[in-house]
Structure 1
Amino acid sequence: MQAGAQSPSSPLAEPGQPPGRGTYRGMLLKLARRPDALIPQVLAGVIGRSWHARGLQALPLYGIDLVRTRRVLARHFPGSETLPALHAAVPEEHAEAIEMDDVVALLLENLTRRDEDNEVLAHAVASACLGSDHLWQDMQLASRRQLSELMGNHFTTLAARNAGDMKWKKFLYKQLCEREEIRVCKAPSCGVCTDYDVCFGPEEGAPAT
């Protein structure tokens, strides 16, 4: 078999129809050293969603280059780093690049522990912020509770500032606005705002599959 080719029995093989949105996530978790741990679940969800949307040739995490991507894949999902298409990956251009840089910077500044896994985790959360669903859904997690656990464990100081349990995507962008001294909401406080439910209402929806 040619080097780098996928065997028919490989969990990354793609016979027949193109994979659905959750399939790449499932494939990665089959290869995971610790499939029940939260970091591999987050990475599998965000990377899998990116590959579904943009193809295997695209670097899946904003700001993470090819060398680092392959290293992280090898560490958490042994075998996935040999995907042939990934070898030809090129950086993706994002219209939201400046905004994304700000989200990444905010998350990196508030890391509870600074190491490569946690740095990559910050980039994964920021990448998921580009999605159109609730953040926990864009990360393909099972529930919002999982996301809150992640934020509390890995971005402790940032999570502590979300005392009112604001929706996480709203909260992150609110933090950026406050850093730039931009006041988007005209209400004197969240409690009297007519859009309270938009920012603090339940984040219901289907979990990751």
Structure 2
Amino acid sequence: MGPSLPAISTKRSGRRSEHSTISSRSILARFKSRWARQRWPVMETFMKLFSWVDVLPAGRRTVVLLASAVLILLGLVGTSLWMVGETYSRTAELDRSQRLLESASLVLGDLRDAETGQRGYLLTLDAAYLDPYRNASTALSEELNELEASAAETDKGLVRTVRTLANAKIAELQATIDFAASGKTAEAVEVVRNGTGKTLMDDIREALLPLTDKARGNVRVNL
């Protein structure tokens, strides 16, 4: 009985090795067959890269397959993290662009409201018309700050141009109001007629256009 034990042990060891070899090959073959039927180019490329696994001994084949699975898992985790970061970046860009569009619209709205108040005062000399002018002038400063905050660093120069033109427009409106308040209605009307205010408004719209066009493009891309 004693001498036969090593032979039995060796035989079992051989069967386990053979079973492991058959099992590993069977799993790999099924895996290849399944993804081959799917005809996914990425998976086909992946399987070609790992076709050399067939020539490895059973033990090494198992290690390689496990290591490959770990690498794939790490790749998926890395890809997921990248996608999260990309989504966050796109969301932030979308939010910034939408805020810029809103600020640009409000800047133009404030200037129109200020101009409406000025025209009403020049026509009636009723100080009540100065309330919308003053409110719009105050709001304009805040909206210009928001416009600058939401603009990309490369667009800050355009925002400064808009701010300069907007301040010039408010100064033009204030000059006509001061003329009218001091009884110089003719001088106030002359300032309006010479077209300076209209030119400033046109220049402001033109300066805002590259900013708003870029922002709309960003919104389309990131939605």
Note whether the superposition's TM-score is higher than 0.5. Answer: no
The structure with more helix, counted as a fraction of residues: 2
Q: Shorter-chain TM-score: which interval? A: under 0.3
TM-score normalised according to structure 2 size: 0.21
